Structure 1
Amino acid sequence: MEIINKITFSQSLVALAITSVLSGCGGGGSDDFESNKGDLISGCPTNLTCDYLSVAKDYDNPQQGNVNIFYGVHKARVPSERLGILVFNFGGPGGSAVSGASYMVSQWLPSTILDRFDVIGMDPRGSGQSAFAKELTACAVANDCTQVNRDFAHYMGSNSVVKDLDSLREALGEEKLNFLGYSYGTRLGSLYANMFPQNVRAIVLDSPMPPKSNNYIDLRIDNAKGYDAVADYRLITPERKKRLEAVANDIYVNGVYVDKYGSSLSVDKGRILLSKLSSRDPSKEFSDMKSSLFSFLDNDYLNNLLGDLSISNGNSPTDDDYRSSAMFQTVVCTDERVPVESNEVANYQNSYQQASAIYGPMNYQDTASMCVDWPGERDSIEHVEHVERMDQVLSGQKILVIGGKYDPATPYIWAEQMKQSFGTLAVTTTVTNRVDHGFSYSGIDCVDSQTTAYLLDPTQTLSDKSCLGTYSSSFNFFNPEYPAKTHPAKTVSGF
C-alpha cells in the first residue's frame, strides 16, 4: 500500500457548549471527557458542530465499558425541508471523516443537499479524534503495532464501525440513516444495509469494495485485474500490452530489461512505470510519460522514458500517514473471514499471475503476506448477500451503486458484484472513460444529478446510467471563503 500525500487545512478554535459528561472507562481508547475536551475543541472544523458519542467498546461484551467516537454536524440550512442526516465515509480504512465532511460542505455539495440534510462526518475508531487513534499513532511512529493490535484490533474492525453508525443514528433521534460511502466506505454502507436494513433510507456506494471476500489476498488479486484493465485501456493496442508483459517478465525473472540500444530498465524504474501507468487521471502522471512510453513499447527505445521515470521525493510522511497505514492493516486483517496461513501464501502466487502478467507478480510480492500471523483477534465480516431479507424490510427504496470502468483502486468488477449482490434493489451509475476513483460530488454533472435525485427520493424509479467522466464547465472549483480542495475520497490511502 502506498502512502498518499494528505491535504491539510487550518482549523480555528471554536467555543462549544458541552451539555453532558460522558461516562468513563479504562483500557485504551479512553472515554474520559476531560482528557478529550481539548481534542473536541481543536479538532472541529469551523463550519461544523462537533461532539463525542459514547459507545460500547465491545458490542458483544458491553461490560467492558465505553469509548468515544468523534463526529461533526453541519445542520440542514432549510429546517422546514429537512430530510434527515447524511453521513459520509471517505474510505481507507484509515481516513478520518469529520474533516472530509467539512470539505464537502464548503466546496463540493450542491445547495439542494446542504438545504435538506444534516451533513455528518464520523471518525471511525482508530482515526481522527476517535478512540484508539492515539494508540495507533504512537505504535505506527515507533514501527511496532504488534501489542496494540493484540490488545485492540478486535475493537476496530468494520463490524464495530457499522454498529457505531447505528448508535449515532439512534443518539441523534433519527429513524433512518442516509449514508454516502466511498471506496472502503462502501464496505461500511453495504454491511449496514445487511445488518440494519430496517434503518435504511438511502445508501450510496461509490467505488465499491466487493460484497463478498474472504481475505486480503482476495482483494489484491482483484486489484491486479483492475490495474490490468487500466493498462488495456491506456495502451490502446494489444501489441503494446503484449510488449509490456514481455518487458515485465524480463524484470521479474532477471531483475532488469535491456533495450536494443543497451539502456536498462531496473526493478525500481519498472515499479515507477507501473505506478504511473495505473495512476489516476488528475495526477497527470500517465499523460506526462505517455509519449515516451509508447515510443519505448513501439520502438524499443528506453532513453526518453527513463527521463520520465525520475523519482519524486514528495513530502515526508507525517505521523498521521503512519497511523493511517497502520489502521489500514489493522482493519483489513481484523475483517478477514478465511485467514491465510504462512505455509499457504505460495499457493496464491499463480492466481496473482493469472490476474495480470504485468501487475500480478509485484502485487504478490507486496501484499500476499500482510495479514499472515496476525497477532490480533479477528471480527470477521459477513458476506452481503441476504438480498431477500433486505427486500422484505426496505420500503421500496433502492441502493445506488457508482462504479468507474477504469477505477485503479477499486476495480469495476467489484461494482458489478455489488450490483449483483443487491439484485433488484440496485441502481447503477457507471463512469466509462476516466481512470479515477470516487466520483459523486466531484464535479461530474451526470453522476452528481443521479446521486442528488436518489438522495432526495430513494423510492423513485431511476434507470441505470452511463456517464462520461468530464467535469462540468460551470462547476465552481474556487470558493473565496474556502479555497478549493482535493476531494477527500481521492486523498485517502488504501481503498
Structure 2
Amino acid sequence: MDRIVVFLLLILTGCAATPKDKDFEEMIFYVPKDYNNMSSGKIKLNAMIHRAKDKKNRIGLLVLNFGGPGGEAVESASQMISEKSFPQSIIDRFDILAIDPRGTGKSEFVSDLARCSFNNECDSEKESVGFNISTMKFTQDIDYIRKSLNEDKITFLGYSYGTKIGQLYSFLYPQNIRGVVLDSPTSIEHGNAIEESMTMPFSYERVMYHRLSKSEIELIKNINNKIKAHEIYTTKDDYKIDQDNFNKLLETIISTNDDEWSNIKPSLISFLKTEKFYDYIVKIQEIESSDSNDSSNLSLAAAIASASTGSINCSDENKPLLDSEIENSLSLFERKSSLFGSLAYNAYYNMCLGWKAKRDPLPYISKVNNRVPILIIGGKLDSVTPYEEAIKVDKMYLGNKKLITVNNIVSHGFSFSYSDAYVDYITEKYLLNPNSIIDNT
C-alpha cells in the first residue's frame, strides 16, 4: 500500500503551488472533531475553492477527492485547474471545492503524523489519531461544509479511495447529492483491509498477461516454482533470488507506468531467456536512482500519507481480524494466485496487525437505492483498484447507474488525466447533466 500512496502522490500531486488567480480562494473551515460528541471542540481543515467563471450559468458546487487514503486535495485540484485538465465547461459552470482531509495537506492531525514519518515509527501516532481521521468523519465534514456554504446539493468527483467517500456520502445524505462520479472505485462493502485486498492478485495477473507473452509467463512461473521448492533461485550469473526479491521483480511488471515499462521490459525478457540477472538489476537501479531525486518535501508528504493510510484503513474496519487471523492469511492470498498471492499479502497483512486503538467503523452497506444517477469508471488493467471492485460497486447501486470500462490502458484514475478522451467526454457530459449518461450508449 505504501508504494501505491507514493505513486498516487507523484501522479496527482507533483510539486505544484496554489496558483495566484482571482477565481481561487484559499479557505479554512472549522468542523466538529467528533460528530457524536459535539462538546469535543472543533478542528481546522484546509481548503480551496475556484469560483465558476460563468456566474449566470453556475450549476453548483463540485467537490473533489483524490484518494489515498492520505492524499491531499488542495494542491492537486489547483494543479488540475491551472493546467486546464478540466474542460472549460466545468471550470465555467462549477465552484470547484477541494478540502484537505483530516491528516493530510495543511489540515488538522498532519503534525502528529509528520513527527514520526521519516523514522517510520508511527504506530503509536497512527493509533492516537486514527479514530479522528476516519472516512466516516471526513464524509460528515463534507456535509458540514456544504451547509456552511449554503449549498443545497453537491456534485462529487472521487478517485480511488475517494470513491469510498462518494459511496458513503450518497448513502448517508442522498437528499444532498446532485451527482457522483466514482473513478477507479474500491467498494465500501469490505469489512477490513485483508478482505478488501483479496481481488488484488486477479488484477496483477491481468496486467502481467497484457504485458508478457505466454512463453515469458511460463518462465516466470518456473522461477516461482523453484523458489517455492528451494526458497532460493540462483541465476546463471550467481544472483540469489528469494521470495522478497522475486516479489520486487513482479512489482516492476504490474506497477510501472507504460513509459517505464517500455524501458524495463527488454532487460526483463533478456533475463528470462538467459537467466542472467545483471542487466535487469542495472535497469532497476537506474529507475530507482531517478526516483530518489524527488524533493524532500514530496518524500515527507509520501511518508505522512503512508501513516495516514494505515490510520484510516484500520479505524474504518467493521469486521476487525485477530492478529492470528491476519498473520495466517497468506494461504488465502496464494489460493487466489500462486504467483502474486505473496505480493498482495505483504502489501496489506501488517497494516492493522496489533491495532489496539478505538475504531470509527464504516456502516455495513450492501445496497444503496439512490434516485441520483451514478457514473462508475473502472479500468480492466488497473492494478491499484481492481476491475472487480468497479463491478461490485455497480451491483451495489440499485438505482440509475452506468459503468464505463476502460480497456488496454495500464493506469489508475482515468477522467481528466489525459488517458482516455472518451472517458473525459462521458464524465464532462455527466457532470453537466447527471441524467445524460443513463442511456446505455
Q: Is the 8 A contact 1:252 1:361 kept in 2?
A: no
Q: Distance in 1 between matches of 2:280 and 2:304?
A: 35
The alignment of Structure 1 onto Structure 2 pairs a total of residues equal to 425
Q: Is the 8 A contact 2:23 2:53 kept in 1?
A: no
Q: Distance in 2 between matches of 1:411 and 1:132?
A: 30
- 1:387 equivalent in structure 2: 368
CA change 1:119–1:106 in 2 (3 A) is: same
- 1:315 equivalent in structure 2: 293
Task: Between 157-166 and 221-230, report the one with greater CA deviation.
Answer: 221-230
- Map 1:276-315 onto structure 2 (within 5 A): 276-282=252-258, 284-298=259-273, 300=275, 302=277, 304-310=279-285, 312-313=288-289, 314-315=292-293
CA change 1:436–1:462 in 2 (3 A) is: same
- 2:71 equivalent in structure 1: 95
- 2:106 equivalent in structure 1: 129
| 2:34 is aligned with 1:53 | no
Q: Is the 8 A contact 1:273 1:309 kept in 2?
A: no
- Map 1:25-424 onto structure 2 (within 5 A): 48-107=24-83, 108-237=85-214, 239-251=215-227, 254-259=230-235, 261-264=236-239, 266-267=241-242, 269-282=245-258, 284-298=259-273, 300=275, 302=277, 304-310=279-285, 312-313=288-289, 314-315=292-293, 318-388=299-369, 390=370, 394=371, 397-424=372-399
CA change 1:118–1:280 in 2 (3 A) is: farther
Q: Distance in 1 between matches of 2:141 and 2:357?
A: 21
| 2:417 is aligned with 1:442 | yes
Q: Distance in 2 between matches of 1:269 and 1:153?
A: 32
Offset of residue 424 of structure 1: 4.1
Q: Is the 8 A contact 2:17 2:78 kept in 1?
A: no
**Partner amino acid, structure 2, of 1:370:** M
Structure 2 runs not aligned, ≥5 long: none
- Structure with the higher helix share, 1 or 2: 2
Offset of residue 304 of structure 1: 4.2
**Partner amino acid, structure 2, of 1:115:** D
**Partner amino acid, structure 2, of 1:326:** A
Offset of residue 235 of structure 1: 1.5
Q: Distance in 1 between matches of 2:41 and 2:266?
A: 60
The RMSD of aligned alpha carbons is: 2.3
Offset of residue 301 of structure 1: 5.4
Q: Is the 8 A contact 1:47 1:102 kept in 2?
A: no
Task: Pick one of 430, 438, 444 that aligns with 2:405.
Answer: 430
Offset of residue 461 of structure 1: 4.5
Offset of residue 11 of structure 1: 5.0
Helix, strand or coil at the partner of 2:216: helix
Q: Distance in 1 between matches of 2:228 and 2:319?
A: 29
Q: Deviations over 1:340-371 (max 9, x none)?
A: 11121244211110222222113323421220
**Partner amino acid, structure 1, of 2:253:** L
TM-score, length-scaled by structure 2: 0.90
Helix, strand or coil at the partner of 1:120: strand
CA change 1:461–1:129 in 2 (3 A) is: closer
Q: Distance in 1 between matches of 2:350 and 2:53?
A: 49
Q: Distance in 2 between matches of 1:292 and 1:122?
A: 43
Q: Distance in 2 between matches of 1:369 and 1:139?
A: 18
Helix, strand or coil at the partner of 2:72: coil
Offset of residue 409 of structure 1: 0.6
Q: Distance in 2 between matches of 1:297 and 1:142?
A: 37
Helix, strand or coil at the partner of 2:434: coil
Task: Between 1-10 and 153-162, report the one with greater CA deviation.
Answer: 1-10
Q: Distance in 1 between matches of 2:191 and 2:219?
A: 34
CA change 1:63–1:255 in 2 (3 A) is: same
Task: Pick one of 15, 21, 37 that aligns with 1:8.
Answer: 15
**Partner amino acid, structure 2, of 1:459:** N
Helix, strand or coil at the partner of 1:73: strand
Q: Distance in 2 between matches of 1:333 and 1:218?
A: 12
CA change 1:56–1:345 in 2 (3 A) is: same
- Map 1:443-482 onto structure 2 (within 5 A): 443=418, 444-464=420-440
Helix, strand or coil at the partner of 1:228: helix
Offset of residue 53 of structure 1: 1.2
Q: Deviations over 1:203-240 (max 9, x none)?
A: 00000012311111122222222112211221232x43
Helix, strand or coil at the partner of 1:173: coil
Q: Distance in 2 between matches of 1:187 and 1:373?
A: 25
Structure 1 runs not aligned, ≥5 long: 15-44, 466-495
Offset of residue 280 of structure 1: 4.2
CA change 1:262–1:301 in 2 (3 A) is: closer
**Partner amino acid, structure 1, of 2:314:** C
Q: Is the 8 A contact 1:194 1:386 kept in 2?
A: no
CA change 1:382–1:293 in 2 (3 A) is: same
- 1:481 equivalent in structure 2: none
Helix, strand or coil at the partner of 1:309: helix
Q: Is the 8 A contact 1:179 1:202 kept in 2?
A: yes
